[in-house]
Amino acid sequence: MFRPPVKPHYKTISRRKFLQLGGGVATALGAGSVAVGLNSMIVSRPVYAASSEDAKWRQFEGSKLVFMSENTPPSFAIRDNLKEFYDLTGIEVEILTDDLPIVQQKIGIDLRGGQADFQLNYIQDKPIGSPFADFYEDLTKYAQDDTLPQDPDGFEEGAWFENFLRACGEYYEPGRIVAFPYDCAVACTFYRQDLFEQLSPDFEAEYGYRMEFTNDTTWKQVQDFASFFTMLRKDGRTDIPYGYGQHHGTFAWTTHLDIQRMLFSHGSWTEFDIDDKLGSKTPGPTRWGDEQSILMMEKYKALADVSHPDNLANGTLQLNTAYAAGDIAMQVQYHEFAASVEDPSNSRAADGKTAYAPCPKGEQSWVVGDGGVVNGTNCGIGGIGINSAAEEKLKRAAYLFANWSVSKSTQLKVLKELGGTPTRPSVLTEPDVIEARARPSSMPNALTFDAVYDYGIKDPHFVLGPKIPEANEYYNILLTEVQRCVSGDTEPEEACNELKIQIDDLHEV
Amino acid sequence: MKDQLTEAFVSTKAIFRDGGLVIDAPAGARNAALSNRFYFYLMMPAIIVLAAITLYPFFWLIYMSLHTVDLGLADDTWNNLKNWTRLGRDRKFQEGWWLLLKYSSLCMFFEVTLGVMIALILNRSRYEKILVTIFLMPMMMAPVIAGLVWYYMYNSTFGWYHWLMQSLGILGDKSILGSSSTAMIGIVMVDIWQWTPLIILIVLAGLKRVPRDQLEANMVDGAGDIRNFFQVTLPNLYPFLLIAILLRFMDNFRFIDAILVLTGGGPANSTKILPTYLFDVSFSFFKLGRGAAIALTLLAVTIVLGMILVRVFERPSSTRSNSGGT
């Protein structure tokens, strides 16, 4: 049926020729992929202090940079607006995004390799900043360079929200700033105001006080609220399955942040006797295993016992999903999640059902000794920094991007477009933003600003550390022992003592 | 003829004269030696490439295991075998081994048992081709994607599988990954789901090679299906099972993709098999020296267990060949 043509128009090809062609194509593809890969490029022309602002911005026109970042709203919004930066500078920027643990690994390998494939790095304060701080360029020298354009708001501590610059930019060495605050995730309480109002009389009858969230609501009261919801569920008196949920999941830092809030609220307890905001490369013996830590572990476990049963599988995102699905009545969550909670197409907690409050306060009767109580509030402050292994001109070009990405105008745009999390207080003075802080809000994240920017991030409530080079291994040890305790495999005292042994061994104390 | 050739090769002498190698041998043997050398030169590029991508990293791994190679600006320093001595008191390392053996054994047992059973059923089915195609689908998926799919199915808020198990009363409020007592079952199930098809495929290939005459002869002797399976089919399947088990065994010893997505080794380290811990140490804590020491123990045990497995499976075939000769 099918016969080969007698006089074909095509030519036959010998095996040798085929192999030659194949080899040629493979070589060309390989060389091409290397050429157009992550390679950065630098083009520069001389600029002087007296040059125009435009000339300073365009001095590296034609260059190419790579920015490795977490998949947070600012990075998506900035990626969508890269043309604006390109028009301003003529610099092409490739933004690569991934989950934070992956970013941490990729950045670590790049820094260790010394090749500087990613000239710009997303420096999340503890998982990335603490172990890799020495690999980043000191930005103060660029911030004082009059041949580079500078932000009108400046880069000094007062240009940012309280504690932010030190949190993500300063490690172990005072005055050396390796990152500018790029975005932030600050913890606050999300709770179902509709349910709280509806059920408060029943709660008051049972516990003798109103079920409501204020700045003075304590962890002990949260325990009561959670127990109350558990009881209601058993009695079939509410549709909402659980009262509270903790953060655990697969990323160890999540668990650390969750228990740290409770620990710091009681006597401002921290793990090491070091400057919490500066950190230390030699933190010395840990305080785990002392009376306060054991008591807190007991309370944390007691809260876990009346929380969402899938606590240990729920990371931050999954917990928020459970809240948005109507499975829990309250959560301590990062304020960037307000945008998703307030989205009625994805959330049963939208349409004014959710209210926001600072993180719970410590319970005075739970403090061992004479310490005070605070609303322990922690965060992840993501900074943008420059790989010190990059070529000097590349670093200067990278500085232009860092400068632009943290500017007030960029942050405002991100907040309006994708629900960003500003790091400059000047953004909050804009009339649109002031208006959005009350319902109905066009920027849902702004609903949390009272609890977060006006209260939680301020001292004495703000807790950051521990900034230690071994931060990631420390979190991993902590996750294991806390989860063992919460699962009932170990007693709180045993867990804390085990933590003490392993952490001191880690630091060779 | 054969003896003459052997004599020619044996009489070949290589002597050094004036600093050079001179082959003093009969013409046939000399040609053979030249020919061997020619082939050796042809293979040189491949040998060099292989050495570069296997031997160099291997020796580098040994070097790293003897030094402190942390993520820091300091040079690598000799640390008096600290990376090795630390393993003795590293509880996660020891637990990692135990969990790896538990995980591998569970996966292997269920995958081989199910794989052989399904292959036997498929072998007799007239819909064999279409069924095999359907069964192979999970295997086509990247392990990370498989992990993500099951992660969502297991989720207690919206997971279909969780809902099903809960509706059947098998699971309580906790998801399968949410408890340290069930998380291991969760990750083993994903492995079984994805890799049993590989066993099916290999065993099916083996079943096609089982000699019909042996089966028929056994049936003439009065053997039923079960006796036939154990006396004829299974012995003939040994080489195929060996390949399947070795492949899966090696895979399990380096398997982290789906586990990292599903549990990250938790909760409470209940699924932190050794490769997952190795990944943490090397790429999360960036303790590359410690990671190298762990990797070398993994490599050594893999080689030893692999050799034992080969021995175990070689025994029946040699017995067969002996009995066949008598």
Instruction: Count up the domains in chain B and report the number.
Output: 2
Answer whether B71 sits within 8 Å of A111, measured CB to CB: yes
Amino acid at A496: C
Least confident of A324-338, B34-48, B184-198: B34-48
CA distance A239 to B4: 94
Q: Which residues of A touch B283 (CB under 8 A)?
A: 105, 108-109
Q: Is residue B71 part of a domain?
A: no
- Quote the pLDDT of residue B26: 61
Chain A: give the shortest CA distance to residue B60, in Å: 15
pLDDT for res A10: 55
Indicate whether B197 and B303 sit together in one domain: yes
* Cβ distance of A325 and B266 shorter than 8 Å: no
| C-beta atoms of B180 and A312 within 8 A | yes
Per the model's pLDDT, the better-predicted residue between A321 and B31 turns out to be A321
Residue B80 domain-assigned (yes or no): no
Which residue, of A436, A452, A472, is where some domain finishes? A436
Regarding whether B58 and B105 lie in a shared domain, the answer is no
Q: Which token pair is A144?
A: 């004082």
User: Which residue, among B156, B272, B278, would best test binding to A if mutated, counting the most A CBs under 10 Å from its CB?
Assistant: B156
The answer to whether the Cβ–Cβ distance between A483 and B267 falls below 8 Å is yes
Residue A474 has pLDDT above 80, yes or no: yes
Query: Would you state the pLDDT for residue B307?
Result: 86
Containing H/E element for B99? helix B91-123
d(CA A187, CA A317): 13
- Per-residue burial over A294-329, b = 16 or more CB atoms within 10 Å of its CB, e = otherwise: bbbbbbbbebbebbbbbbbbbbbebbbbbbbebbbb
Q: State the nearest Cα–Cα gap between A111 and chain B, in angstroms.
A: 8
Contact A309 B174 (CB under 8 A): yes
Residue in chain A nearest B259 by alpha carbon: A250
User: In the predicted model, is pLDDT for residue B324 greater than 70?
Assistant: no
CB contact under 8 A, A112 and B71: yes
* pLDDT value of position A15: 67
Max CA separation in chain B (angstroms): 88
Instruction: Pick B285's closest partner by Cβ from A327, A472, A487.
Output: A472
Inform me whether the pLDDT recorded for A17 exceeds 50: yes
Distance CA A23, CA A15 (A): 12
Name which of A109, A472, A487 is nearest B268 (Cβ-Cβ).
A487
* CA-based nearest residue to A181, from A422, A394, A414, A395: A422
Helix (H) or strand (E) holding A12: none
Name which of A128, A478, A480 to mutate to probe chain B: the one with the most chain B Cβ atoms within 10 A of its Cβ.
Answer: A480
The closest CB to that of B157, out of A108, A322, A483, belongs to A322
Residue B179: closest CA among chain A residues belongs to which residue?
A312
Regarding whether A235 and A99 lie in a shared domain, the answer is no
- Cα dihedral A424, A428, A429, A432, rounded to 10, equals 140
Query: Taking CB atoms and an 8 Å limit, are B158 and A321 in contact across chains?
Result: yes
Same domain, A431 and A359: no
Evaluate whether residue B191 is within a structural domain.
yes
Q: What is the CATH number of the domain that holds B192?
A: 1.10.3720.10
The last residue of a domain, from among B16, B49, B65? B65
Report residue A7's pLDDT band, with 50, 70 and 90 as the boundaries.
low
Q: Is residue B76 part of a domain?
A: no
Q: Does the beta-carbon distance from A472 to B284 stay under 8 Å?
A: yes
| Residue-level pLDDT at B15 | 52
Under the banding of pLDDT at 50, 70 and 90, the label for residue A13 is low
Residue B309 lies in a domain: yes
Instruction: Inform me whether the pLDDT recorded for B252 exceeds 90.
Output: no
pLDDT of the residue at B315? 64
Beta bridge partners of A333: A188
Q: How far is CA B146 from the centre of its chain?
A: 19
- How many CB contacts within 8 angstroms connect chain A with chain B? 98
Q: What is the pLDDT of residues A135-150, one digit of tens each?
A: 999 999 999 999 999 9
Whole-number pLDDT of residue A187:
96
Q: Per CB distance under 8 Å, which residues of B are interface residues toward A?
A: 71-73, 92, 154-158, 172-175, 177-180, 260-261, 263-269, 280, 283-288
Closest residue on chain A to B264 (Cα): A250
A325 and A467 belong to one structural domain: yes
Tell the residue number behind the tokens 């090491």, with chain if given. Answer: A272
Out of A119-123, A230-234, A368-372, A417-421, give the one with best mean pLDDT.
A119-123
Does residue A412 sit in the same domain as residue A268? Answer: no
Q: Is residue B84 part of a domain?
A: no
The span from the CA of B289 to the CA of B312, in Å, is 35
Instruction: Using CA coordinates, name the residue in chain A closest to B69.
Output: A112
Task: Verify that A293 and A144 share a domain, yes or no.
Answer: no
Measured between CB atoms, which of A105, A131, A250 is closest to B266? A250
Residue A427: phi, psi to the nearest 5?
-65, -35
Cis peptide before A440 (omega within 30 of 0): yes
Q: Nearest CA of chain A to the CA of B67: how many Å?
A: 16
Question: Do residue A134 and residue B73 have CB atoms under 8 angstroms apart?
Answer: yes
Cβ contact (<8 Å) for B268 and A484? Answer: yes
Residue A29 vs residue A329, higher pLDDT = A329
- Structural domain contains residue A17: no
Which chain B residues contact residue A311 at CB under 8 A?
178
Can you give the pLDDT at residue B318? 46
Q: Regarding predicted confidence, which is higher, A75 or A246?
A: A246
Contacts of A476 in chain B (CB under 8 A): 280, 284-285
pLDDT at B319 > cutoff 70: no
Q: For residue range B275-310, what is the model confidence (pLDDT) as tens digits?
A: 999 999 998 998 999 999 999 999 999 888 888 877
B181 and B35, same structural domain? no
Name the residue facing B177 among A252, A313, A322 (closest C-beta).
Answer: A313
Q: Stretch B264-270: mean pLDDT, rounded?
A: 90
- Considering the domain boundaries, does residue A324 fall inside one? yes
A81 vs A262: which has the higher pLDDT: A262
Chain A residues near any Cβ of chain B (below 8 Å): 101, 104-105, 108-109, 111-112, 131-132, 134-135, 248-252, 309-314, 318, 321-322, 325, 327, 469-470, 472-473, 476, 479-480, 483-484, 486-487, 489
Q: Is A265 left (phi over 0), alpha (psi -120 to 50) or beta?
A: alpha
A9 belongs to a structural domain: no
Q: Tell me the nearest-neighbour CA distance from A479 into chain B, angstroms.
A: 7
* Domain co-membership, A99 together with A244: no
- Assess whether B198 and B309 both reside in one domain: yes
Query: Is residue B248 in a domain?
Result: yes
Asked if residue B113 and residue B16 are part of one domain, the reply reads: no
pLDDT at B7 over 70: no
Shared-domain flag, residues B36 and B168: no
Nearest residue in chain B measured CA to CA from A100: B284
Q: Tell whether the torsion through CA atoms of B119, B122, B128 and B133 is positive or negative.
A: negative
Token readout for A168 is: 């993500």
- Would you say A361 and A219 are in contact if contact means Cβ atoms under 8 Å apart? yes
Judged by CB atoms closer than 8 Å, whether chains meet at B286 and A108 is answered as: yes
- Do B123 and B203 share a structural domain? yes
Residue A480 maps to which CATH number? 3.40.190.10
> Is the same domain home to B52 and B106?
no
Residue A451 shares a structural domain with residue A303:
yes
Give the separation between CA B30 and CA A295, rounded to whole angstroms. Answer: 85
Residues A336 and A370 in one domain: yes
> Under a CB-based contact definition with an 8 Å cutoff, are residues B191 and B258 in contact?
yes
At A33 the pLDDT is 53
Q: Which residues of chain B make contact with A252, given a CB cutoff of 8 A?
A: 264
A430 pLDDT higher than 80: yes
Query: Is residue A339 located within the same domain as residue A233?
Result: yes
Of A436, A466, A484, which marks where a domain is finished?
A436
Mutate to test the interface with B, among A136, A250, A314, A483 (most CBs of B within 10 A): A250
Residues B35 and B165 in one domain: no
Could you give the CA distance from residue B92 to residue B281 in angstroms, rounded to a whole number? 11
> For the segment A231-285, what is each residue's pLDDT rounded down to a tens digit?
998 887 777 889 999 999 888 999 999 999 999 999 999 999 999 999 999 999 9
Q: Is residue B294, in this structure, part of any structural domain at all?
A: yes
| ipTM of the predicted assembly exceeds 0.95 | no
Q: How confident is the model at residue B225 (pLDDT cuts 50, 70, 90)?
A: confident
> In terms of domains, do B241 and B159 share one?
yes
Which residues are registered as beta bridge partners of A334?
A187
Considering the domain architecture, whether residues B302 and B200 belong to the same structural domain is answered as: yes
The amino acid at A258? D
Query: Whole domain around residue A225: which residue ranges?
Result: 186-379+444-506
For A398-426, the pLDDT digits (tens) are: 999 999 999 999 999 888 887 789 999 99
State yes or no: pLDDT of B6 exceeds 70: no
**Arithmetic mean of pLDDT over chain B:** 84
Residues A335 and A457 in one domain: yes
**Which residue, B65, B100, B120, sits at the end of a domain?**
B65
Q: How far is A480 from chain B (nearest CA, A)?
A: 5
CA-based nearest distance A208→chain B, Å: 30
Contacts of B269 in chain A (CB under 8 A): 480, 483-484
B98 plus B58 within the same structural domain: no
pLDDT at A218: 97
Tell me which residue in B172, B265, B267 faces A487 most closely, judged by beta carbons: B267
pLDDT tens figures, A189-203: 999 999 999 999 999
End-to-end, the C-alpha distance of chain A in Å comes to 84
**Do A368 and A385 belong to one domain?**
no
Cα nearest neighbour of B177 on chain A: A313
Domain count, chain A: 2
DSSP sequence for A165-192: HHHHHB-SSTT-B--EEEEEEEEEEEEE
Residues of A in contact with B261 (CB under 8 A): 250
In this complex, the residue of B158, B180, B264 whose CB is nearest that of residue A250 is B264
Residues A262 and A115 in one domain: no
Chain A nearest-CA distance from B96, in A, is 13
Of A104, A309, A312, the CB nearest to B267: A312
Q: What is the mean pLDDT of residues A482-504?
A: 96
Burial of A71 (0-12, 13-18, 19+ CB in 10 A): middle
Closest residue in chain A to residue B152, using alpha carbons only: A318
Query: Among A72-76, A299-303, B89-93, whose mean pLDDT is lowest?
Result: A72-76
Chain A contact set for B268 (CB, 8 A): 312, 480, 483-484, 486-487, 489
Which residue from B157, B286, B287 is facing A327, i.e. has the nearest CB? B157
- Please give the average per-residue pLDDT across A120-135, as a whole number: 94
Residue of chain B nearest A321, judged by CA positions: B157
Please state the rounded mean pLDDT for residues A361-377. 95
Q: Tell me the longest C-alpha to C-alpha distance in chain A.
A: 102
Look up the domain containing B246 and give its range: 92-325
**Partner-chain contact A473 B287, CB within 8 Å:** yes
Nearest to A325 among B157, B284, B286 (CB): B157
- Of A405, A420, A436, the one marking the end of a domain is A436
- Inform me whether the pLDDT recorded for B235 exceeds 70: yes
- The answer to whether residues A246 and A307 touch, using CB atoms and an 8 Å cutoff, is yes
